[in-house]
Every structure is written in C-alpha cells, then in structure tokens.
Chains A and B, each alone.
Chain A
Amino acid sequence: MCNFLEVKNLFFSYGRGNVVNDVSLHVTPGHVVSLLGPNGCGKTTLIKMVLGILKPRSGGISASGLDVTRAGHRERARHFSYVPQLHHANVGFPVMEMVLMGRIAYEGCFKPYSDADREAAEKALRQMNLLDLAERSFAELSGGQRQMVLIARSLAQQAPLCIMDEPENGLDFGNQVKLFRLLRDLSAGGMSFLVTTHHPEHALWTNDQVVMLNREGRVLVAGNAGECVNRKNLLGLYDVDVAIADVGGQHCCMPLMEAAGGAGFN
C-alpha cells in the first residue's frame, strides 16, 4: 500500500543556507507522525512545501502516489487536508458554512455546494460532536471550539491524511488531551496525521511515530516515539536536559528545571 505521504531528500533555501536540509519522512496509513524541532528548524517551511505554497529546491513529495509538487491544488486537497494553527481571525461565518468549505476540492468554486457536500459536512460535525454549534458564528466560539471546527472542516474534506500545524497551540490542558485522544481514535479508523508540535510529551501521548528536525533543518532521528523521545535526543534537539519516566505504562517527559546548560534563548 502507498504511503499517505512520502517526502524524499527535500531541500529548501530562502537565499543563503538551506532551511530544509535533505529531509525524508513518510506517513503510513493509520498512523500519527509527530514532527518535533526547535524554533526555526524549518517545520513550517516543510509544511508549506507539502501544501504547495513553496516550491522545494530539490527533492520529491508524493501523497498516495500523487506527485504533490506537480499536482493542482484541488487534486492535492483530496489527498490531504490541513488544520492551521488556531487562528483568532474574526471571521463570522456560521460553523456549518466553515465546514462546508472543506468541500471546495470536490465541486470547485463555480458551483454551489451539493447535497453530498452538505451530507459530508454534517457527518463531520456529528463526528466531532459539533452539530449543536452548526448555526453559531465562528467568531463567537472559544479557542477549543474553533480548533474542533477546523478539524471538522478537514474531516469533511475526506482526505486520508491530515496535516496539523501545532494544533495544541492555544488550547487549555483538557482540550489538549482531548485533541490527542481524538487523533488516536481517528487514526485507529485508518486516517493518518502529520502533526507539528513543540511538546515532546505530545509525541509520547500519541504513542506512535516521531520525526525530529534539528536546527540545521536535518532529520536528527525518526522512529517510534517511545524509543526516540529520550534524554539524548531531546538534549541534542533543544539543549535541555529531561527525564523520561514511566507512569502506569505511559511514558512521560519532564524537563529538569535545575539542570545545567541552556543559558540564553535560542
């Protein structure tokens, strides 16, 4: 079976020096891949290339066999969806209308939304338990609700892979946990996720795969979160000492506040 996303030897530079340096990664069906890395490691650039907003200097990106760098936006949108960072855009569209926008890739912009579109949107809202909010204005929702609506929109897009850019950003602790439970449940149903995050802890929550990008934009390590999220790798990645503990069978990652090293922000 084809990988939902396959990134091969990707390079990118905004001028001098590569921001993304020979990055390869893949997302297999039914898995959550967490993308970890310090600020400025090229995570966002990488995502932008996958979304077709930036052209890679060299390297290939394919999704379920589709050459992403050559595909049109509509075709690409049927292969994967995107959940942006929680935005505070005061866009006053009703929630239902927001979720319907996930269907643009199917009927295009010239036609009005079809019955199939409405059914898919409703299904996504039901799946996310948001039907009660369908008529509410997006601008009036709380951060957590907004993020859920954006995820519902990506579900309505019915793409096998969903790319999320720091989805936990701006969510309270409870909503963060709920979010990662949701990812776990959806991936059990066969969907895949590529999730950028600043929290190694979250990669452990998913108990799935992780890719770590270092400051030079290279893959430091990739593999099982349980194995890769360890003291040595995190020290290399963030210049911070951590302890990994096992609590009731679940790995936890704790920064050591009193440890030496890491003076000054990076």
Chain B
Amino acid sequence: MKKRNWIIIGLLLATLGAIAVSSLLAGRYSAPLSEQLKILLQLPVPDLTPERREILEYLVFTLRLPRIIAALLVGFALAMAGSTFQSMFRNPLVSPELLGVMAGSALGVVAGVIFEVPAVVVQLLAFAFGLLAIVTTLLIAKLYRGGDKLLILVMAGIICTAIFTSLGFLIAYSADPERMGVGLEYWLDGGLGLANRSNILASLPLFLLGAAGMAVSAKAMNVMSFGEEEAAALGLNPIHWRILAIVSATLVSAVSVTMAGMVAWIGLIAPHFGRLLTGPDTRTLLPVSGLIGASILLLADSASRSLFSSTLPMSLTISVIGIPMFMILLYRSKFGGLHV
C-alpha cells in the first residue's frame, strides 16, 4: 500500500479513537471522562465512594462500552459489506440495505425472536433470510432485461425490501405483542440498545469470519471490476469469487442486523467516502471504508443518546448525518462519474 494511504488510515484511526473516547460522555448520566477512563483502565480513582465506583463501573462496562464496541463492529461491518456489494455488482448505488439483505435478515431476526429460538438460531435465521433476500433481488432484477442495469438492480432491491419488511410486519402483528420484547421498530429503525457483552462475544467470530472472507476476495474484486469476462480471461473463476464475496458480505450484514437492526445509510455512504479518499482498490477500500463506517455510526449513536433527554431513534441521527453527506458525494462525483 502507498504511504499516502497509510497516513489516511492513521488519521481515520485517530479520528475514530477520539470519537470513541468522547462517546463515553454521551448519555443522560454524566460522569467526568477522566473518571470513566480510569474505571475503564482499572486505575485507582481517589476520593471515590464504593457506591459511586459501582455505579461508574456499571455505567462504563455494562452501558456504554458494549454500545461503543457494537457501534464499531456494526459500522465497520456494514461499510465493508457495502464496499463489497458495490464492487461485486459494479454498481455504486447498492448497499446491504438497498439490496434487501437487511430487510431479509430483519425478517429472520423477528421470526426468531417471536418463536423464542436460541441466539445462535436467530443468527442463522438472519443469515439464511439475508441470503434468500439477495437471491430474490437478483432474480427480480433478472426479470427485466435491457434498460439501465444499475437502476434495475436498485429497483429490484427496493421491491425485495418491501416484500421482506411486509412479511416482518405480518409475523410481528400476528404474534403475541408481549413476545416481541423491544418491539418491531427496534429492528426496522436500527439501534444499539440491545448491545451487551454476551451478544457481542457471540457475534464477534461471525464478524471476523465474514471480514476475512471479504479481505481474501479483495484482490479478486479488483480484477472483477472489469467484468466477468475479463476476470475469467485473466485467470480467476468469477463465479467462485463472486459467491465467496457476496456470502461474506451477507454474513456480516445479517449479524449486524441481529445486533442493531436495520442500520441505514452506512453501507452506502462509507464506501463512497472511502473511494474518494483512497481510490477504488478494494484492498485499501475495505479497511478505509470500515473505519469511516464505524466513525459515522458511533457519531450517530452518541448524538441519538445525548441530544435530547430521551434517546432518539438512530435512523433519525444517521439520516441527519448521512443524507447531506451522500448528497455532497453525489454532487462531487457528478453522479454518472461515480467510480466503483
């Protein structure tokens, strides 16, 4: 990787770190950052009553830290998945959300929660329905030959999202409302309120597995940005790599949904931002867009916790950050010239 790209990654890491540390302050209960950091690092804090120490430990380790870690994981994962989908479909307008993957996974999660299956099965359902959704989108897109392929795929994704979201509503409303727990809107709007130590630990291996799948496909994705024909002629099997990359991206998207519901925008804008910074090389784009995605999600979550006395839905704060960002990106790249 070029020196310039390393510097960019360093700067993004520093930014993310700063956002992460300052987001310890986000939330209704206020405690000085220095105290929270000392608690976090298990350092002694002078003049602290045992009761207050207990409260602070609860605040840091149970409330805020899991949320921050979950935001990092989900943001990173969705951005990587978005980059992968955009590269694979050679389409700057797709993302886990717009391809219907997240709606599919959300249906899996809602079904799993209602039928009270174990957490592993919920993850499995999310993954299976995510895959089903992307296959559905591709099949719908196949119905329409000719025309603008980029737009047709997006339209197919919208149709697919509508199908799976409606099914989610159907299941949710036909079930005993008490069984839903946090409620359907948590999964549809996205949020990090359910993040805790155990579901982070349960998701981490799957995140890593999917990230590894995308990382090893990065070189192949570069070659495949010229189309299947050229990729095959250059000596790689486009179908194998396409499956590996898409399944990996779907896996991390699905796990993100089990943790945080349908988090909008990140998977679409973070890759564009990344490409603007370091160019189309997927090997660089995956980590760069990941860091950007994590930063945006963390920022959005902190804002949703601290702006008003009650927690705002995260979809709202993400939209406030994401929509102007996307509009600027679109304007800068003059749309037609959007590179993948």
Contacts and interface: CB of A to CB of B under 8 A. Distances in A.
Interface of A: 48, 51-53, 72-74, 76-78, 81-82, 84, 87, 89-94, 97, 101-102, 104-105, 108-110, 112, 137, 139, 153, 157, 163
B250 interface: no
A48 B229 contact: yes
A92 B233 contact: no
A51 B279 contact: no
A92 B339 contact: yes
Interface residues of B, number: 25
Given A90-B339, A109-B219, A110-B216, A78 B229 contact: no
B229 A84 contact: yes
Given A91-B280, A91-B339, A93-B280, A105 B232 contact: no
B226 A89 contact: yes
Given A92-B339, A97-B281, A109-B241, A77 B226 contact: no
A204 B233 CA distance: 28
Contacts of A52: 232
Interface of B: 216-217, 219-220, 222-223, 225-230, 232-237, 241, 279-281, 337, 339-340
A104 B232 contact: no
Contacts of A90: 337, 339
Given A73-B237, A90-B337, A91-B280, A109 B232 contact: no
B22 to A, nearest CB: 34
B339 A105 contact: no
A25 B174 CA distance: 66
B265 to A, nearest CB: 24
B234 A91 contact: no
A232 B234 CA distance: 39
A61 to B, nearest CB: 14
Given A53-B232, A97-B281, A109-B216, 16 more contacts: A52-B232, A72-B237, A73-B232, A77-B234, A81-B233, A89-B225, A92-B280, A93-B225, A101-B222, A101-B234, A104-B219, A104-B220, A104-B223, A104-B234, A104-B236, A110-B219
